[in-house]
Structure 1
């Protein structure tokens, strides 16, 4: 009940229950798949007390909250009436296969990390306890507690079966039955097996990651096929057993070997990189660049890779060390800013985000500090890169996917050198990033704005900003001063208003007319780069029912910048008692880094009024 009001507000701001296709969560964020993202009020969501930021990309509409998301998600499910992982509806939009696969993989992997991280942290605690001599590694107490860690990694296919079954809407109990069958003594690692005379390859399913995923995907399609051919009266009795006896042999014959090849292929790739360039290069690059991946919501892509390493190799040679070093480098960068800043409000921001990063949750620092000031990205590239380089050269490996507080797990089986090298790498990352951030300094607000709006080179390969011309000549009006809450709150997107000094409205960009209100008082234009621009003439002028408005284009027309698209009798509108302010907003603001309005007091249709930072 503690988060009920927050959940109700959030559901309303993303467009209501009917706009939500699915909702899942990872460690720090709610991931929505929305039918129509354009109606989500991103700026208002960002203002909610528990929200750190919002990231909208091809994978999901992500509301970043923090670790309390684990408590918020059940309340969200209850309000939405969800019993499983998602609520699916037909949005009429076909999702790209790669996007769908990444989204499902990311959403299904999130819940599995909870027991894995718990097992990793437990391994670190046991290593410390054993190191101090309080409990012998040969004692029953140690063995009982260590059995938790062993069980999590041995029965990983079962955890995967549960999570993917919920995400793909397959019967959980049938998927777990398949997973347990694969891990039974009769099949797991058994030699000399055959099925109907067909020889089966020897496969250790407890140490494989992909066979069970492929098996669950296949099971979903088998279930759908049986529902079409089996009479409804018989489905309850026969479908489960048919699903099992069809899925198991196909898994043993096809998915077991295929999944093993995929896992071995990933290991080969990293072994090849290590032998060719040195594995240190991957550790260094990921430790340096992880904040960028978090910023764009792509941090989860490594999950199947490092989980495959743990399942097949028993350790992770790359990513566990890299992400811990990167996390502590983020902490170091914000600490550097804390000591550099003289402003108490800034110090409070830097102090709280540094503590959060130290605890392993870096999103508050990345979205609250890095995105605004930019220079901390460079600090982490320096500190995290140096720490990652050292860890890579020293061939540090992770024995459990843990954070900073599970550092003792790097001892593994009495591998103290591995632990000491990791400790040094962490110190290098923290100190290096802290010193770099302190030296780079904190840009003031004017410098931040100037940096965002600075002119840049543009070509067909890389577009970093898009310029929007003023649609009409007139006086610049800040959007917050427009007398319409829907616009002034930026709920419809960032932009500005213009007090018009002429009647003709010009196309501010090259693009296509995607919407034209019947009353001709508002028009929507979309550019080839996907920027969606709404030009709205006047406040409440829809009540004029088209009086004083004339259009020169129709929906679907292509327009070029400067073309006359509408005409409005501004004097007549004023005479009727309406404010004729011409409002221009970017309705898909959330898809871009920022939208910056011009600060010129007056504008002409030949001047830029908005800069969309890509």
Structure 2
């Protein structure tokens, strides 16, 4: 695969470099935060060779790539300036304001834990292998070999607050070194001695409830979030000549005691309470709880909500030395793997067979997003088969009382983390994941799915049905009055490259947008700067008033429409103040795009210098098969 070519195509289809506020990646996805989501062509993105799916969640446009995501991310860095530190820094403050509170919270958890997943899985596997070695008496815990390898496997978990301090500080733009110092104070030997001494501890007369902070999650995250906010506040008022050492001084003096007095006890108790609640559910009915988690885990992954349980898994291992919740999720992973294999065995479509085969292999090692987004979910029935298989496997695992004794993404290589003293529950895990795999595979094969090869054969037999019957020759009238500007001259690559479709632009002389066709409003943006509508003849039209004007958040715009409204030619849609928009630093040149350009033989712009409202602006030429 040519990663640089794919990177360039992705950047163009998300609206160009100027439309990207920031970009990060996790195990399988590029996570774009955009200035204007209307500029992204999700349909064309999904059809790029190398892109599995495109999703919007938590204010981000998420492009699912699969295992090659690091290579594509690096290629974007080589072929664009998107990854420049200055650009990422200036974007982050507005990024946090995007999306609903729940979506933002999930995004925060994902950003904090995603960078650690690789090493966490590796350390978890090593710890699981050591458990097996001691259970079979291959190694003794007193052997120096065991001591060295155990230190390698356990160091990440013991010093987890330090690592989380780094990722949290990066997410909230705090000083990483100050954050690490605060985390180090929680693990400092003299603090540990005070904790073990069982004597009353105070700070200037304020009682301090000391806890054990090694391997904890919530206390340091809370602490660093507050530290980052205080740091920005202090830097506003402290003179530049001394803030580099005065700000860290104040943060250490305030945050270390505050964490020990407030955030530490709160974080530990909240984490324990959540864990206790989930463990209680499994204690009440491990079979039902396991079935629910086995069935729903991949649904949680689709919406990114699974990140909310990651701290719970880690907390359980840290506090109790084991976790009884995570094993059931493993059934869901192997269930979707089995469903993908079922697709591989049944499909006659070469492209789908190749995709199903490769995603089956990656899913075996715990990376299920290519499988879900690229294979089972689009085909629907295989995904449902995976849910059924996951429920059965999860019930078996829950009833067997399987435990995880280390952290790591559920998969073939991480099976050792579920092997504890005496191997209790491990056989139940093997039985559960095998059952989920087989049931999902067999159900997929029996239930079947709409194989793309069937669609291709039907299209070959009835070519007149390959395009929408409603589409015909049509004239699109001008929604504005002003100077006509060729799309290639618009100062925005997403429009100029015709990545979103063919069309034309108008530099308006009047702040009015009227309906260019008889049709229906399909999108009425809250920011009022853009309108999507479909004509009665089938033309899909995007009117984008100005460039980057989404950042005005509706200021200087008045909208008279809502989604679903029926409109007639000349109906007033939006009014805007040209002078004030320009004063704010934005161009008002307005692209008018036919977003379903591919359904037409040609889109012909008018050859004039200026237009009035309702003058002919574009001529759409339909394919001959539609004209019949």
For Structure 1 versus Structure 2, the TM-score category normalised by the shorter chain is 0.7 to 0.9
Q: Which moved further from structure 2: 426-435 or 554-563?
A: 554-563
> 1:575 and 1:195 mapped to 2: Cα distance?
79
Instruction: Kindly indicate whether residue 103 of structure 2 is the aligned counterpart of residue 99 of structure 1.
Output: yes
Cα distance change on mapping 1:300 and 1:271 into 2, 3 Å: closer
Match of 2:226 among 178, 198, 218: 218
> 1:259 and 1:61 mapped to 2: Cα distance?
31
Q: How big is the alpha-carbon RMSD for the aligned residues of Structure 1 and Structure 2?
A: 4.0
| Alpha-carbon distance, 1:42 to partner | 2.5
Would you say the 8 A contact 1:161–1:179 is kept in 2?
Answer: yes
- Consecutive unaligned residues of structure 1, counting only runs of 5 or more, are 450-469, 478-483, 495-502, 527-532, 538-553, 584-599, 604-614
Would you say the 8 A contact 2:390–2:436 is kept in 1?
Answer: yes
Deviation per residue, 1:71-114 (Å, 9 max, x gap): 44455456435459944336599434433322122111101212
| Alpha-carbon distance, 1:601 to partner | 5.4
> 1:71 and 1:197 mapped to 2: Cα distance?
55
Q: Report matched runs for 1:32-71 at 5 Å.
A: 32-71=32-71
What is the aligned partner in structure 2 of residue 208 from structure 1? Answer: 216
What is the aligned partner in structure 2 of residue 193 from structure 1? Answer: 201
Would you say the 8 A contact 1:283–1:389 is kept in 2?
Answer: yes
Instruction: Kindly indicate whether residue 304 of structure 2 is the aligned counterpart of residue 304 of structure 1.
Output: no
Deviation per residue, 1:417-464 (Å, 9 max, x gap): 221111111111111111211211132349989xxxxxxxxxxxxxxx
| Alpha-carbon distance, 1:356 to partner | 1.8
> 2:528 and 2:264 mapped to 1: Cα distance?
56
Cα distance change on mapping 1:224 and 1:507 into 2, 3 Å: same
Would you say the 8 A contact 2:337–2:437 is kept in 1?
Answer: yes
Match of 2:128 among 118, 124, 145: 124
| Alpha-carbon distance, 1:30 to partner | 1.6
What is the aligned partner in structure 1 of residue 22 from structure 2? Answer: 22
Instruction: Kindly indicate whether residue 247 of structure 2 is the aligned counterpart of residue 239 of structure 1.
Output: yes
Cα distance change on mapping 1:27 and 1:92 into 2, 3 Å: closer
Instruction: Kindly indicate whether residue 420 of structure 2 is the aligned counterpart of residue 417 of structure 1.
Output: no
Would you say the 8 A contact 1:59–1:102 is kept in 2?
Answer: no
Cα distance change on mapping 1:324 and 1:239 into 2, 3 Å: same
- Consecutive unaligned residues of structure 2, counting only runs of 5 or more, are 457-467, 475-486, 489-493, 503-514, 544-556, 572-603, 609-615
> 1:516 and 1:249 mapped to 2: Cα distance?
48
| Alpha-carbon distance, 1:566 to partner | 3.6
> 2:46 and 2:33 mapped to 1: Cα distance?
18
Would you say the 8 A contact 1:535–1:582 is kept in 2?
Answer: no
Match of 2:343 among 334, 337, 341: 337
Cα distance change on mapping 1:72 and 1:198 into 2, 3 Å: same
Q: Report matched runs for 1:580-599 at 5 Å.
A: 580-581=619-620
What is the aligned partner in structure 2 of residue 349 from structure 1? Answer: 355
What is the aligned partner in structure 2 of residue 530 from structure 1? Answer: none
Q: Which moved further from structure 2: 306-315 or 134-143?
A: 134-143
What is the aligned partner in structure 1 of residue 328 from structure 2? Answer: 322
> 2:158 and 2:129 mapped to 1: Cα distance?
20
| Alpha-carbon distance, 1:21 to partner | 2.1
Q: Which moved further from structure 2: 437-446 or 191-200?
A: 437-446
Cα distance change on mapping 1:535 and 1:390 into 2, 3 Å: same
Cα distance change on mapping 1:523 and 1:19 into 2, 3 Å: closer
What is the aligned partner in structure 2 of residue 507 from structure 1? Answer: 519
Cα distance change on mapping 1:493 and 1:330 into 2, 3 Å: farther
Instruction: Kindly indicate whether residue 271 of structure 2 is the aligned counterpart of residue 263 of structure 1.
Output: yes
What is the aligned partner in structure 1 of residue 550 from structure 2? Answer: none
Cα distance change on mapping 1:12 and 1:130 into 2, 3 Å: same
> 1:323 and 1:172 mapped to 2: Cα distance?
33
Match of 1:284 among 280, 285, 291: 291
What is the aligned partner in structure 2 of residue 390 from structure 1? Answer: 396
Deviation per residue, 1:483-536 (Å, 9 max, x gap): x9999x994389xxxxxxxx993232588698999xxxx96459xxxxxx9537
> 2:5 and 2:136 mapped to 1: Cα distance?
48
Instruction: Kindly indicate whether residue 193 of structure 2 is the aligned counterpart of residue 176 of structure 1.
Output: no
- Tell me the SS of whatever aligns to 1:508: strand
> 2:87 and 2:185 mapped to 1: Cα distance?
25
Cα distance change on mapping 1:322 and 1:490 into 2, 3 Å: farther
| Alpha-carbon distance, 1:223 to partner | 1.1
| Alpha-carbon distance, 1:574 to partner | 9.5
- Tell me the SS of whatever aligns to 2:361: helix
Match of 1:109 among 109, 113, 116: 113
TM-score (norm 1): 0.74
Q: Which moved further from structure 2: 256-265 or 79-88?
A: 79-88
Instruction: Kindly indicate whether residue 366 of structure 2 is the aligned counterpart of residue 360 of structure 1.
Output: yes
| Alpha-carbon distance, 1:203 to partner | 0.8
Cα distance change on mapping 1:198 and 1:350 into 2, 3 Å: same
> 1:157 and 1:267 mapped to 2: Cα distance?
18
| Alpha-carbon distance, 1:242 to partner | 1.4
Cα distance change on mapping 1:9 and 1:558 into 2, 3 Å: closer
What is the aligned partner in structure 2 of residue 294 from structure 1? Answer: 301
Cα distance change on mapping 1:271 and 1:92 into 2, 3 Å: closer
Instruction: Kindly indicate whether residue 449 of structure 2 is the aligned counterpart of residue 442 of structure 1.
Output: yes
